[in-house]
Amino acid sequence: MGSKNKLKRFKENESFSNVIQPKRSEIVEGEFKLKGKWASDFFKNNLPVVLELGCGKGEYSVGLAKMFPDKNFLGIDIKGARFWRGAKTALEENMTNVGFLRTQIELVDQIFAENEIDEIWITFPDPQIKYKRTKHRLTNTEFLQKYKKILKPEGVVNLKTDSEFMHGYTLGLLHGEGHEILHANHDVYKNEYSPKEVVGIQTFYENQYLEQNKKITFIQFRIK
C-alpha cells in the first residue's frame, strides 16, 4: 500500500463514527473515558461486548457482527490503514454493532474495565516463533492474565490460526497452567462439530492458506 493511500485512509478513519483512536498517554494516565462504558457510550446499548485482537482488515469482526446481531464487536489493531476497510464496510451497510479501536493490544487491561468483556477472538496472529519473541505471542501467560482481568467470569477466548506452532504452544500452555479447554480442533474444515462462527467466516488470508492446503486450527478456552 502506497504512503498516499495510507494517509488517505488515516484521514478517513478520523471521520468514521465507528473508529476510536485514543492517544497512548490518554490510556496510560487513566483519562480514557470509554473504559467501563463501551456498551452504553460507544455502542449505545447494553449488549455483550466481544473483542477481536489483531483484527487486520476487520473482516472477522464484521462477519461476526452480521452473524450475531445481538452482540457488539470491537476490532483492535495498531494499523489503522488495515482496518479502514472493515470500518468503511460497516458504515456502508449501516451496521451499528461493530466498531474499531486503534491501539496496542498490550493496553487492553487499561482500556477496558474488569469484567467488561464477554468474549475475545484472536484470529491468525503472528505466531512469533523465535524464542526471543515469546513476550509478543498473544496467548502467552502475561497476555492471558490481562484477558482474565477484563473478561467476565464465564468469558471465553477463541484462537483461530493456520500456525501449528501457535496451536501447539497455546495448548501446551493452557494444559500446563490449568486453564479450561472447551474446544480444540486441528482441522476445522474436516470436523463436523466446528462452531459455525469458525467455519462460516473466512478472511482474505485464510482463503490463501486454504489454497496452500494449510490446516486451520481452533481452540476455545476459559482462563482460570
Largest CA distance in the chain: 49
Taking Cα atoms as reference points, which of 196, 199, 179 lies closest to residue 187? 199
Q: Which amino acid does the sequence have at 221?
A: F
Backbone angles phi, psi at 137, to 5 degrees: -70, 130
User: What is the rounded distance in angstroms from the CA atom of residue 95 to the CA atom of residue 215?
Assistant: 32
Contact indicator for 178, 224 with CB cutoff of 8 Å: yes
* Active-site annotation holder among 41, 126, 162, 187: 126
User: What is the rounded distance in angstroms from the CA atom of residue 100 to the CA atom of residue 81?
Assistant: 12
Q: Which three cell numbers stand for residue 110?
A: 487499561
- Count other Cβ atoms within 10 Å, centred on residue 180: 11
Taking Cα atoms as reference points, which of 126, 124, 142, 120 lies closest to residue 222? 120
For residue 117, give the DSSP letter. E
Q: Which three cell numbers stand for residue 214?
A: 494449510
Active site residue 187: no
Q: Just list the catalytic residues.
A: 126
